[in-house]
Amino acid sequence: MYTVNDNTMKMTAQFYPIKNYDPFRATLQIKKNLKWENVQEAEINYPGYTAHFRIEGWDDSKETEYRVVYKKNQFYTGIIRQNPINKDELVMAAFSCWSIYERHGGQEPETDIVDNLKKLKPDVLFFAGDQVYDHSEHYKYWLKFGESFGEIISNTPTITIPDDHDVGHGNLWGDGGRKSETRDGNYGGYYMPVSYLKEIERAQTWHLPDPYDPTPIEQGIGVYYTNLTWGGVSFAIVEDRKFKSGPKRVLEGKRYKDTHNMDVLEATLLGKRQLDFLEDWTTNWKGAEMKAVLSQTIFTNLATHSPTIEKKQKYSVDSNGWPQAGRNKALNVIRKSFSCMIAGDQHLGSVVHHGIEDWNNAGYSFAVPAAANYWMRWWNPDKPGKNHIKGTPNYTGEYKDAFHNKITVHAVANPTHKDNNPKNDLLKGRAAGYGIIKFNKPKRAITFECWERNVDMFAEGSKPYNGWPITFSQLDNFKLKDAYELPTLKISEVNQVVTVRNDYTKEVISSLRINGNEYKPNVMYPGSYTIEVGEGKNLKRFFEVEAVKYNKKKLIIN
């Protein structure tokens, strides 16, 4: 697996077990002028059998053939792609919850997806977690995951992040890395030995761009939260499990009739370190026209029934709907850069427009469905939501989730099975599938597609799940219904970065690479703001700019 970010290429080569007196070294070669040249040698790590290569000054303007060499006569080949910066549309394929067990609907090989990917040729792959479902043998089942996707991964930049099952938990509240005495982890922390956790993160995350702040958490557990810019889209990769508080620790075992009371001050979600990272990332538009946040799960509790359609679910603290203040802090930062969100974990494909103070004033999220899994969830509210659009399914519209968070539901791929009992067609009945995300840079539009398993995407008449595709504007990710307006900016140079700050605290209100040379920033409150236009040495600042209703003023910037 590899990524290229800011001209640094990082690669992890995964090996089968090395036995007897075989060497623990591997070599990376690239093809130049029809000849293979050695570029780097690396030790093979044990446990886990991974070799890691890191090359700075990588030329991403061209496609490069590579191969990993072992014992001079064994090779694994692939292509490091050219940066698709000049493509109008960047395409991501996104997956989650990949069980290989037959009782979960898993199948080997997974030719239906791989065949579609060969035709689609996505620019980047995202595996949002639960690539491994065995809680004690990560290495064994990680090899199976690689065998399924290796042909695509070896030729495509790939983002993988581990979720709860990958690290040996049914649910995970990392709580800053503390030690958990039980595998259920409800008091927070990690149950498996640190050496096991480090092996997992070496295998799944080492090839990601360098962490924003590599300082380990408790027990010496590493971190990987970072950003990757590829093809004109900047992806913030966050660890929404690692710092999240253990519910039993902060809720003291009480039963709550009103989930408002579960929003206790002690509870954290992303934690200060990751919020600081997202704040910094907000104004970093180097090489980027659009932005998205990648996480393990979405920032809402989008399930009304589980594990059967007959069983109502009061709430789930495993979801990122809890803690509510932590959820809102995260969304408040994410929306500043007009970012959408892509995640997995829920097994339930969905598109939600989030809100904080009001409905629809934060970003859109796409929870891609489980590719193959056992535990099912449904979104089946008693009645349509507010502002329900006639002709759309009854489960769409504006709602409050189980934690009173404001959400607008646009599409859901509910299972057709009524429970988890085995059926002849496990994948179809469980609403299994995956997501395709298209970032249209000239239009600054994002399209979400949710596809069913065992469907040829390219066959005549093929369609994604009912309700998809969904296309929305980048600007909809921070949409204000009753806004205060700053002057219309008329800028001599096109596609400049415009950042709005509070005049007195300098807090960032929004930051965007605009499309063209005209832009009217909106804010939630009246008052005085600073507007920054440009980047680096070409940055220009304008102070004490007033936001008012129906602002007809213009600000000319040469």
d(CA 455, CA 413): 15
Joined tokens for residue 478 = 């921070």
Contact between 131 and 266 (Cβ < 8 Å)? no
What's the maximum distance between 2 C-alpha atoms anywhere in the chain? 77
pLDDT at 480: 95
Q: Measuring CA to CA, which residue among 206, 157, 194, 267 is closest to residue 14?
A: 206
Q: Return all residues near 230 (Cβ < 8 A) that are at least 6 apart.
A: 3, 4, 5, 83, 84, 90, 123, 124, 157
pLDDT at 100: 72
Size of the chain, expressed as the number of residues it contains: 558
The reported pTM is: 0.96
**Based on C-alpha coordinates, what's the Rg of the chain?**
23
Joined tokens for residue 107 = 């199948």
**CATH code, domain carrying 14:** 2.60.40.10
Question: Is the domain of 351 the same as that of 235?
Answer: yes
Q: Return all residues near 299 (Cβ < 8 A) that are at least 6 apart.
A: 320, 321, 327, 330, 331, 341, 354, 365, 405
Indicate whether 107 pLDDT > 60. Answer: no
Question: Is the domain of 244 the same as that of 188?
Answer: yes
d(CA 417, CA 20): 50
Helix H or strand E segment including 436: strand 433-440
Contact between 500 and 529 (Cβ < 8 Å)? yes
Q: DSSP 3-state assignment of 89?
A: strand
**Dihedral of CA 411/127/173/271: which sign?**
negative
**CATH code, domain carrying 488:** 2.60.40
Strand partners, 190: 179
Question: Is the domain of 76 the same as that of 106?
Answer: no
pLDDT at 257: 87
**CATH code, domain carrying 432:** 3.60.21.70
Question: Is the domain of 407 the same as that of 274?
Answer: yes
Question: Is the domain of 71 the same as that of 115?
Answer: no
pLDDT in tens, 19-46: 888 999 999 999 999 999 999 999 999 9
pLDDT at 8: 98
Q: Return all residues near 67 (Cβ < 8 A) that are at least 6 apart.
A: 28, 29, 31, 36, 75, 76, 77, 78
> What's the domain range around 527?
484-557
Question: Is the domain of 314 the same as that of 243?
Answer: yes
Question: Is the domain of 267 the same as that of 400?
Answer: yes
d(CA 456, CA 473): 28
pLDDT in tens, 483-534: 999 999 999 999 999 999 999 999 999 999 999 999 999 999 999 999 999 9
Which alpha helices (DSSP H) does 223-360 contain, by range?
A: 247-251, 271-282, 324-334
Question: Is the domain of 436 the same as that of 543?
Answer: no
pLDDT in tens, 395-435: 999 999 999 999 999 999 999 988 877 666 667 788 999 99
> How is residue 358 annotated by DSSP?
S
User: Mean pLDDT, to the nearest integer, of 337-359?
Assistant: 97
pLDDT at 104: 62
Among the candidates 478, 498, 525, a domain finishes at 478
Question: Is the domain of 213 the same as that of 260?
Answer: yes
Q: Measuring CA to CA, which residue among 68, 433, 502, 10 is closest to residue 224?
A: 10
Q: Measuring CA to CA, which residue among 392, 399, 415 is closest to residue 467?
A: 392
Strand partners, 508: 501
Q: Measuring CA to CA, which residue among 310, 311, 324 is closest to residue 258?
A: 324
User: Mean pLDDT, to the nearest integer, of 186-210?
Assistant: 97
Backbone angles phi, psi at 120, to 5 degrees: -70, -40
Question: Is the domain of 389 the same as that of 472?
Answer: yes
Indicate whether 109 pLDDT > 60. Answer: no
pLDDT at 21: 84
Total domain count, the chain:
3
Question: Is the domain of 407 the same as that of 263?
Answer: yes
Question: Is the domain of 17 the same as that of 122?
Answer: no
pLDDT in tens, 53-105: 999 999 999 999 999 999 999 999 999 999 999 999 999 999 999 887 766 65
Among the candidates 422, 453, 478, a domain finishes at 478
d(CA 468, CA 471): 9
d(CA 278, CA 272): 10
